Amino acid sequence: MKVLVLNSGSSSIKYQLFAMPEATVLARGSVERIGEPRGEVKQRAGERETRLEEPIPDHESGLRRAMQLLTSGEGAPLSAPDEIEAVGHRVVHGGERFTETVLIDDEVLAAIEEHVALAPLHNPPNLIGIRVAREVLPRARQVAVFDTAFHQGMPPRAYLYGLPHALYEEDGIRRYGFHGTSHRYVATRAAELLGRPLEELKLITCHLGNGSSMAAIEGGRSVDTSMGLTPLEGLVMGTRCGDLDPAIVFHLARTKDLPIDALDRLLNKESGLRGLSGASNDVRELERLRAGGDPGARRALEVFTYRIRKYLGAYLAVLGGADAVVFTAGIGENSPSVRSEVLTGLAALGLELDEARNREAVGREADIAREGAPVRILVVPTDEEKLIARDSFALASAA
């Protein structure tokens, strides 16, 4: 079965084509700058790379262009778009309605629409991708995989805020968590690497990228996570502030006369590593600057790694210990120095890093704990698209 995985953004479409059940990637590509005078289409299928610059007026035009690339030229992975039997869509917010992957029908589409208020920047473009795919690929089964679904098993003590309970009951104000497909994928893969059933394990997964989150996972179920109602809560990120005293917002509004939109931009786009360093939200650049003595880069990285260590200790307490800590995503997979700084001084908690193994583990699976240490420390590259493809294949096959 051929399964297409789509991640639709406000001005982009990213896609991968899989042959299932082997989960072999036949092609991957992106349509960027949709609606701008000069759009860009990129695709790699086998050894063949294509890059085009042309106007892409809307998402439908973008997906149709991608279909043309997938079906044309020597060695094309498809002879016709109808070969695609399932389309898996990444949908950011499913609220409490969706606790697992679902086949998309009109009722599901309406429910995703109802959750736009909880994810105003993400759900609308996700909906556009679904509607366009239904038009362009009408014979394929459409599947929704939700970022929030994996965390829906959290107990109330973990997801409720200390607010009047009516705000939860009437408005759905609670912690939902995000990056669920990544946390679920690396937890499953960690169990395979450890040679133990996922249902027996206590894991702490650290998805560290420009957007970062952590999850405490017990028996394959997320029991706590760092992101909240929105992706702003939790760890310090590339441009997001993470946890802060909420009264800071009132203070800034009063003393600087900042409107809501300016405060939103400040906390989501101008804070985090970029705001702390005054230079960049890219950890690679900050590590380079720190090596040259830049105080802003040093400050940003110290705050970033401290916050991760703080959550790590909290989740060890939540779980009553852990079998493994898993690092993933761009920073987690590729920065030995971040991993080392996070884990410094935690030997008493069973976390003993082998620095030689850590230095060698860049962008690949590895166990970087000291031999014989009670808690394993794993690096597991995430593959959210593969998880979406597997979910989509399973549902489409059963339907």
Catalytic residue IDs: 147
- Measured CA to CA, the distance from residue 220 to residue 187 in angstroms comes to 7
SS3 at position 321 = coil
CB-based contact 114:146 (threshold 8 Å):
no
- Measured CA to CA, the distance from residue 71 to residue 80 in angstroms comes to 6
Handedness of CA 111, 117, 119, 125 (dihedral sign): positive
Which residues, other chains included, contact 336 with Cβ-Cβ below 8 Å and sequence gap of 6+?
358, 359, 361, 362
SS3 at position 110 = helix
Which pair of structure tokens corresponds to residue 132? 């366009």
Q: Tokens 């996700």 label which residue?
A: 126
Cis peptide before 81 (omega within 30 of 0): no
- Measured CA to CA, the distance from residue 331 to residue 327 in angstroms comes to 8
Which of 319, 316, 384, 380 has its CA nearest to residue 348? Answer: 316
Burial class (CB in 10 A: 0-12, 13-18, 19+), 109: middle
Beta strands in the chain (DSSP E): 2-8, 13-19, 24-32, 39-45, 48-54, 84-91, 102-103, 141-146, 202-207, 213-218, 221-225, 324-328, 366-367, 376-379
Question: 89 φ, ψ to 5°?
Answer: -110, 130
